[in-house]
Structure 1
Amino acid sequence: MNKSLRIKITLLLQFFALSIFAQQKITGKIVDSLTNESLPGASIGFKGTKNFTSASLDGSFSLKKLDGLNILVVSFIGYNPREIVLKEGQVNLGAVKITPNANLMSEVAILGSNIAIDRKTPVAVSTVNALQIEEKGSSQEFPELLNSTPGVQATKQGGGFGDSRVSIRGFSTASLAIMVNGIPINDMENGSVYWSNWASLREVTSSMQVQRGLGANKLVVPSLGGTVNIITRSTDTEKGGSISQTIGNDGFLKTSVYLSTGRSDKGWSFSAQGSRTSGNMYAEGLQFTGYNYFFNVSKMFNDHHTISLTGMGAPQTHGQRSSKQSIQAFESAPQGIKFNPDWGVKYGQVVNVKNNYFNKPIISLNDYWTIDENSSLSTVLYASRGTGGGGSSLGNVPLTRIGLYDYAPYDLDAAIKANKSGVDGAAGSYLYASVNNHNWFGAMSTYNRKFSKYFNFTGGVDLRYYEGIHYVKITDLLGADYVTYPWQGINSSSTYRGDINNPNPILKTNDKFEYNYNSKVLWEGVSGQVEYAKDNVTAFVSLAASNTSYKRIDFFNYKPDDPARETPYKNFLGYQAKGGANYNLDEHNNVFANLGYLEKAPIFTNAFLEYKNFINPDAKNEKLFSYELGYGYRSKTLTANINLYRSTYKDRARAVNQTAPDGSVYTFNLSGVNELHQGVEVDFRYKPVASVSINGAFSVGDWKYLNDIGPVTVNAQTGSSAQPPTISKLYLNGLKVGNQAQTTAFLGLDLQVLPELKLGADYYYYSNYSADFNFYSYNKPGAKPWKIPDYGLLNLNGVLKFKLANLNSSIIINVNNVFNTKYVADAYDANGTGTASGSTVFYGFGRTWTTGLKINF
């Protein structure tokens, strides 16, 4: 072969090789750095060009390689952008991890031990990310964002700002673990979560993960039905911020500002957010004003050590609709489903007779230390001081309605006139507030150690101190000079129960009455978990134990020198043992199983009797045994999950107020109630083309009581002074557990109509929904709760992106309950007849809307 021919062949081969290289494509998969969950829709492109593509449903992408360019930019709303410098010849990037808008400490130290990882952690899990929260949050309450999750239902209850509730697999909030940045926020006395304290937290939430069942949480928390991990943004690595303004129905107005300095060369970073929200909600007499503040200061000393200080709070005051009404009452009211009997007018101004006001700031100091390549230690210290309460009206003279019209607001001017006309200046009616302040301190520390190629150990300590301060005080004498004995207490038929140290009180504004006691709760918990991971198999075994100690100090029922004024601590030892395994059959399919057993302390109220320092000798731990099987499928266009679960809940304790036939109200402690919670859940996401995404969820539950209980001893009486009745048996066996629809369905559609325009539609359906009920009415066979009619709701939303003064901006519009469907959201069956006429209800909201403008800078 002559030299000329060799040169020609060589040039031809080189040209062919260059042509092939020019057609090469960069591939990879975009995933969340915490959960390993794919991020469909993430943007990937070459820096400085318009050559961008979007990740598929499983996070995978393919991008044509451009000659001379080697820097890729990956971005997704709610996540820090990432730049990747391509090495020569590099075309397959594998898993590309991007981090939420939070620093390393938030990702690992706080969250790592409580977050489930896709195709690894063997639990049923769903995640609501920052994009979904921003685009579909609207004026929805925080828990309502979880309604697209199978096995979950949230309602607004009476409709007051932050008065919503959530249930998972038939378990109410008191049996769930609710956490913010790894810190448990369930009330230390009764396990409840008062969402009004966190109503504006949505503004700074990066993601919200729902783990149904026992969950991946290693702490000894009461996650009987599930765990909700709310992850707030910490400090963005990039400098910037945003301002937003939202308006909506019934005077809804929200203004929010966010600022971040980014991380300096010396490792310092700072971010802050603040907002104000006001309006009237949907029903009448529900005026509210809420604020939110958030800040984070972080110092990254080096790649191994980060410390961070975070503070947040949401002071608010809002009117409430706490009195369910009969369906007939709503039908007869000119206001219809907007009728609210719990507000009034004073001197021409609205007065929320039933109201709530509270401020619960929380501050935490977080430290994350990478000791070496195999071990790390994370610690968080936190403190919270809650102040506030809720009010209503009292008196020997009931409040009247304006014009004596049944559906008009209370006429407080008439009450003032009547009080002033009294000969002795005593109040016939007045307003009061039940105050529930608290001081809460906690410390958690988690040590992680990889002690071999396949095994990892995580151990933790959880310490908490809680003091509750509970009393009732007079807030408005309505023109009177004082209230004197004898008089009526909180319940209309009850006699005065007050301070024995002041048996004939003359009380004025801010004076305490009815009860005055402090509660103290101590919590000490330890946990340990061993994890195994090799090839396609992951497994874990977890053990944890806790001691809950209750003390009660009563300032009204005992003299100062009475040793019975303060009880010793009553201790309840709880523990949990759980384990599970996940097996990835191939790159598309995985199966998992888990099981566990736990015991937890009864609530504080169940540990003491008769509103006094009488320790309940029958109080005992509640118990849960649960197991679950799951299957998952992942591909570029479809992800799907199916879960089967069965949980047996024994010795449930509950303190309830019940109404006897004569109208007297009694309070007694139920214990020994057993329940079965079992069902099947399905969820999926289908993305046939890049511009279309279809989401769905379906769940069918079978939640019922397993036994009758009795005899039931009435432990506390707030009704008449007569001897309370004896209840020989409560016939609960076979009854459905109420207060959550046992069949739910969800279907969502998102369309990227244009690069700048996105439209969405979400449909929710609820069926097999039994009312909550009055246990007292089940003292005879045959009683059953009313079944709430099935209903479905359609929500629509749209997002338009544009440039405003060269700044990235967007307009977001939401319309909820588009067809203005009239439906019962919550119900209470008072007499066990199983009929609508024997029940009282809260109707859900009709059509509502919001429009918001957000500008990023």
Structure 2
Amino acid sequence: MRKYLLSLFISVFTMCLAYAQVATAQVHITGKLLDAQTKEPLIGATVLVKGTTKATSAALDGSFKLSVSSLSGTTLVISYVGYVSKEIEVTDANIGTVLVNPNSASMKEVVVNANPSLKINRQTPVAASSVGQIYIDEHGAGAEFPELMKMTPGVTVSRSGGGYGDSRINIRGFSSNNVALLINGIPVNDVEAGKIYWNDWAGLQDVTTSMQVQRGLGASTIAVPSMGGTIDISTRSTDIKEGGTISQSIGSYGAQKTLISYATGLSPDGWAASFLLSRATGNSPTAEGEYYTGYNYFANISKIIGKNQTLSINYMGASQRHGQLYTYNYVSTFQNAPQGSRYNSDWGYYNGQQYSAEQNYYNKPLASINYNWNINKTTSWSTILYGTWGTGAADYLAGTYGSLLPGSSNEVPRTGGTYSPIDFNAIEDKNIAANTANGNGAATAYMQDVVNNHQQYGAISTIKKTVGDITYLAGVDLRDYTGEHFQKVDNLFGSTYVQDTYTGSKGNINNPNNQATFGQKFNNDYTYDVVSEGAYAQAEYSKNDLTAFLTLSGSNTSNRRIDYFNYTPGNQDSKWINFLGYQAKGGANYNLDAHNNIYANIGYIQRAPLVGSLFLNKNNSINTGAVPEKLFDYELGYGYTSAQFTANVNAYRTSYRDRSQVFSAPNTVDPASPYYINVSGLNEMHEGIEADAKYRPIQGVVLGGMLSIGDYYYTSNTGAAQVTSADGKTTTQPALLVKGLKIGDTGSGVTGGPSAGSAQTTAGGTLDVKVLSHVTLGAQYLYYSHYYAAYNPSKISAANGFSQGEFQPYDIPNVGTMDLDVVFRFKMAGFDAEFIGNVYNVLNTKYISDAYESSPAPGLTPLQRIAGSPGTSTGTQPVPPTIGVNYGAPRFYMTTLKIKF
């Protein structure tokens, strides 16, 4: 027995020794996988030993660890959905950082962004969040483009009435006129109001390969900076391999979208091309009568010139027409309407077809030529020449047609009861009857196009030089813009003309009794010219664990207005108005160890006021009170990165001073010639704390979360406001009593229409689960709190009966919404295919998405202003509501089938 036990012991010991020797012989290969464009980790990417079934996946920080018996002859195959597979012959146990290109990303050798400013994790000292093409594909089929950024801390997104492309985004309490949108490094904000009009780029997600939201000062070096943040979008260029995609989406409310793309791949002589076209149609889920049809187009031709030079030509844009919801109705209206929260007072039928009292159509192609030259190992030069040509209009019902507010005594004709669609044929019948009665063809109601055409050209050229541990960058940013603005007759509803009589700032002094027929200009006709010349320089130091940068830039902005209606020929040009702007910002990031890093940045910006606030009363009268706007910002941040858990926390404080805005006020004598109130000295504070995190408890499961707690408020009352009448006379009104008020954005402004502000507290959570190798489920939950309505601050003064601290903006009720998605990848006739299903607002939560108060009145509580109050038997008069609202979209879905060939 003892001999048997001894033999068994020797056998087990020998086996353990042999196993230990084999284990000792194992080599652990490590590395990190990052997106080649965004430098974000490729969570879940597969690393396979070629010729075997041995594989692992990348962790939250992109790192991986794989054991092999020997390095000799070992080749790793790296693959990730939507990315180009990559093979690496292993020569060292640590292969370092591997950059993997998206399938539809530009070729590594072709540069499409002449002013790259993307944040690199644990290196660039700014707060930023990125999403790649896979995220966009899986979440964007039924979403407006800004909604892809809604899980970013400090960001508030709303469909703003729900029309196609009418969504908006606020960052850290700054509305879109203080948020820069860059497409391949090209600034594309509206030059006059500074706003982002997303309907100009409806369908942009079809060609986007990466998108990064930089909060605060950001990393951009452009000479005319933003105040609140930067959205940096990189589009596809020339695909690395030949192939294409066909996809079809079908969803709620008649939504359909068809897309086709094709890429030639790189030819032996260095040429390549890529094309995409899509068409979307349907009705908005947010409100009835918001029909839309949109086209998105993209083309790229690239050429590799020798070993060191590349040329890339891009042409992209979106053409669309859609119905809108422009009227803010009261909460009680939605409660009483059979349609509930989807009620729209502004649409109806004309000749049996859907028709809207507010429509929008626009097309804004963007063309660019990108040249890059790697002069030597330490020096490169890149230049981008670009142009945009915007044509389109907002098409409004005008004249004496009645009120769009349901239940009004002079309500517009409708097909049925109070909440039924507008009867545009009845409007036409009234026109014809009036023409017969008075014996002329003048229209009493008509559709007018408020046309906003523009041409913009620019050049951004940058030279980059590395000397030791310091990289120097310098360049120029040149822009030339012309915006044409006029109104023209669109639909006369059976009449012959619109009578356009010159009265001050309305009509044509050169044709004072014009009878404007279809397509003719009337009311106003003017042009803005805005020219800016800027230069910038940056030095970035990077050694070991420390990275630091300093950026300086300066610009001159020249503004001119040309008025063809209010002045006779030879007197139509205003003088040029010039403003100097500059920025100085710097920051540093220090990696404490392999997991922890800290960073800080600080900066000061002086920016020219927007051209829309420089001229008063729709003529060439110059606003002498306009001064440059200033911003001072600083921020501290901390990051933690590991294979299973990543987190970022940052705190910021931003002082925004000398903001100017021009507001309109009604003129009871001549409604067509309102007063204009010039407000200067709007001083704001934006401060808060932001955090986001991801956790992977087990392989295939990723939890995410974010939290933002902000405080955005006015720090002082303004100075006296200047009021300009139609005849050019000026008076003053007392200071606006806004000190301490929460910022809810400024409605009724000439330089920007009403929209809600920012939710000052946002929170969210995400869950992604790979239930099978080819099936992924996802969920997103988003929560908004301390979300204040937009209001018109020009009313809040002693002249209107207010006392200091009496008014507070309406706090929109807290809301939480949840979205779900499923992705199923499979083979169809030998081709790669995927089915994507998205359900938005899956719990069908009813919530107010925007609120606006145009005429604040003293002595009323927020509850009275939102809901009104009934009269009493003691003789108390009822108080009507003064706050109009829009509701968010109810539950809706979108399904997409995509085939790659």
TM-score, normalization: structure 1?
Answer: 0.94
Give a deviation string over 1:445-476, Cα, whole Å, max 9, x none. Answer: 0100002x211100011111111010000101
Task: Report matched runs for 1:787-806 at 5 Å.
Answer: 787-806=811-830
Equivalence for 2:897 = 853
Q: Which amino acid aligns with 1:736?
A: K
Distance (Å, rounded) in 1 between the aligned partners of 2:834 and 2:36? 27
Equivalence for 1:680 = 689
Give a deviation string over 1:207-233, Cα, whole Å, max 9, x none. Answer: 110110000001123321111101111
1:534–1:179 CA distance, 2 compared to 1 (3 A) = same
Q: Which amino acid aligns with 1:823?
A: Y
Instruction: Give the CA deviation at 1:57.
Output: 0.5
Instruction: Give the CA deviation at 1:396.
Output: 3.1
Q: Contact 1:35/1:115 (CA < 8 Å) preserved in 2?
A: yes
Instruction: Give the CA deviation at 1:384.
Output: 1.1
Instruction: Give the CA deviation at 1:650.
Output: 0.3
Q: Which amino acid aligns with 2:895?
A: T
Instruction: Give the CA deviation at 1:722.
Output: 12
Instruction: Give the CA deviation at 1:409.
Output: 1.9
Query: Number of paired residues?
Result: 831
Q: Secondary structure at the match of 1:714?
A: strand
Equivalence for 2:856 = 831
Give a deviation string over 1:390-441, Cα, whole Å, max 9, x none. Answer: 1111123437322463222221111222222222222121111100000111
Q: Residue 888 of structure 2 is aligned with which of 813, 819, 844?
A: 844
Distance (Å, rounded) in 1 between the aligned partners of 2:541 and 2:85? 32
Instruction: Give the CA deviation at 1:663.
Output: 11
Q: Contact 1:777/1:783 (CA < 8 Å) preserved in 2?
A: no
Give a deviation string over 1:742-783, Cα, whole Å, max 9, x none. Answer: 000010000001111110110000001111112233112212
Pair 1:96 & 2:140 matched: no
Distance (Å, rounded) in 1 between the aligned partners of 2:663 and 2:116? 36
1:416–1:125 CA distance, 2 compared to 1 (3 A) = same
Equivalence for 2:776 = 758
Distance (Å, rounded) in 2 between the aligned partners of 1:179 and 1:401? 45
Q: Contact 1:486/1:496 (CA < 8 Å) preserved in 2?
A: no
Equivalence for 2:876 = none
The range that moved more, 589-598 or 183-192, is: 183-192
Instruction: Give the CA deviation at 1:523.
Output: 1.1
Pair 1:295 & 2:299 matched: yes
Equivalence for 2:205 = 202
1:624–1:383 CA distance, 2 compared to 1 (3 A) = same
Q: Secondary structure at the match of 1:325?
A: coil
Equivalence for 1:731 = 737
Equivalence for 1:484 = 499
Equivalence for 1:623 = 630
Instruction: Give the CA deviation at 1:300.
Output: 1.2
Distance (Å, rounded) in 1 between the aligned partners of 2:522 and 2:178? 32
Distance (Å, rounded) in 2 between the aligned partners of 1:613 and 1:659? 20
Q: Secondary structure at the match of 1:110?
A: coil
Distance (Å, rounded) in 1 between the aligned partners of 2:670 and 2:760? 32
1:20–1:352 CA distance, 2 compared to 1 (3 A) = same
Q: Contact 1:522/1:548 (CA < 8 Å) preserved in 2?
A: yes
Structure 1: give runs of 5+ residues left out of the alignment. Answer: 1-11, 488-493
Distance (Å, rounded) in 1 between the aligned partners of 2:668 and 2:172? 33
Q: Residue 442 of structure 2 is aligned with which of 426, 434, 447?
A: 426
Pair 1:329 & 2:340 matched: no
Q: Secondary structure at the match of 2:733?
A: coil
Q: Residue 481 of structure 2 is aligned with which of 466, 470, 480?
A: 466
Q: Secondary structure at the match of 2:776?
A: strand
Task: Report matched runs for 1:265-280 at 5 Å.
Answer: 265-280=268-283
Q: Contact 2:43/2:61 (CA < 8 Å) preserved in 1?
A: yes
Task: Report matched runs for 1:532-681 at 5 Å.
Answer: 532-562=541-571, 565-658=572-665, 666-681=675-690
1:707–1:106 CA distance, 2 compared to 1 (3 A) = farther
Q: Contact 2:500/2:507 (CA < 8 Å) preserved in 1?
A: no
Task: Report matched runs for 1:245-256 at 5 Å.
Answer: 245-256=248-259
Equivalence for 1:411 = 423
1:302–1:728 CA distance, 2 compared to 1 (3 A) = same
Q: Secondary structure at the match of 1:331?
A: helix
1:35–1:502 CA distance, 2 compared to 1 (3 A) = same
Pair 1:123 & 2:126 matched: yes
Distance (Å, rounded) in 2 between the aligned partners of 1:301 and 1:585? 43
Q: Contact 1:751/1:760 (CA < 8 Å) preserved in 2?
A: yes
Instruction: Give the CA deviation at 1:539.
Output: 0.5
Equivalence for 1:747 = 765
1:106–1:775 CA distance, 2 compared to 1 (3 A) = farther
The range that moved more, 732-741 or 219-228, is: 219-228
Distance (Å, rounded) in 2 between the aligned partners of 1:716 and 1:521? 26
Equivalence for 1:361 = 365
Q: Contact 2:505/2:566 (CA < 8 Å) preserved in 1?
A: no
Distance (Å, rounded) in 2 between the aligned partners of 1:210 and 1:106? 25
Instruction: Give the CA deviation at 1:659.
Output: 5.3
Q: Residue 176 of structure 1 is aligned with which of 165, 179, 182?
A: 179
Give a deviation string over 1:124-156, Cα, whole Å, max 9, x none. Answer: 011011111111113111111111000001100
Equivalence for 1:148 = 151
Q: Secondary structure at the match of 1:689?
A: coil
Give a deviation string over 1:291-323, Cα, whole Å, max 9, x none. Answer: 011111111123311110111010000011111
Q: Contact 1:77/1:130 (CA < 8 Å) preserved in 2?
A: no
Distance (Å, rounded) in 1 between the aligned partners of 2:851 and 2:228? 22
Q: Secondary structure at the match of 2:333?
A: helix
Q: Which amino acid aligns with 2:759?
A: A
Task: Report matched runs for 1:168-247 at 5 Å.
Answer: 168-247=171-250
Q: Secondary structure at the match of 2:582?
A: strand
Pair 1:81 & 2:85 matched: yes
Superposed CA RMSD: 2.3
Equivalence for 1:40 = 43
Distance (Å, rounded) in 1 between the aligned partners of 2:51 and 2:492? 69
Distance (Å, rounded) in 2 between the aligned partners of 1:142 and 1:71? 40
Distance (Å, rounded) in 1 between the aligned partners of 2:107 and 2:458? 22
Q: Secondary structure at the match of 1:143?
A: helix
Q: Contact 1:46/1:69 (CA < 8 Å) preserved in 2?
A: no
The range that moved more, 496-505 or 181-190, is: 496-505
Equivalence for 1:396 = 400
Equivalence for 2:720 = 711
Q: Contact 2:724/2:730 (CA < 8 Å) preserved in 1?
A: no
Equivalence for 2:162 = 159
Q: Which amino acid aligns with 1:81?
A: S
The range that moved more, 23-32 or 372-381, is: 23-32
Q: Secondary structure at the match of 2:206?
A: helix
Q: Contact 2:107/2:237 (CA < 8 Å) preserved in 1?
A: no
Give a deviation string over 1:462-511, Cα, whole Å, max 9, x none. Answer: 11111101000010100111222559xxxxxx998100011111111011
**Same amino acid, percent of matched pairs:** 44
Distance (Å, rounded) in 1 between the aligned partners of 2:309 and 2:52? 36
Q: Which amino acid aligns with 1:200?
A: G
Distance (Å, rounded) in 2 between the aligned partners of 1:704 and 1:136? 34
1:752–1:668 CA distance, 2 compared to 1 (3 A) = same
Q: Contact 2:504/2:566 (CA < 8 Å) preserved in 1?
A: no
Q: Contact 1:758/1:798 (CA < 8 Å) preserved in 2?
A: yes
1:409–1:219 CA distance, 2 compared to 1 (3 A) = same
Equivalence for 1:808 = 832
Distance (Å, rounded) in 1 between the aligned partners of 2:108 and 2:32? 24
Distance (Å, rounded) in 1 between the aligned partners of 2:163 and 2:549? 43
Instruction: Give the CA deviation at 1:787.
Output: 0.8
Equivalence for 2:58 = 55
Distance (Å, rounded) in 2 between the aligned partners of 1:343 and 1:325? 13
Distance (Å, rounded) in 1 between the aligned partners of 2:21 and 2:250? 57
Q: Residue 711 of structure 2 is aligned with which of 697, 702, 708?
A: 702
Q: Which amino acid aligns with 1:703?
A: Y
Equivalence for 2:747 = none
Instruction: Give the CA deviation at 1:728.
Output: 1.0
Q: Contact 2:597/2:638 (CA < 8 Å) preserved in 1?
A: yes
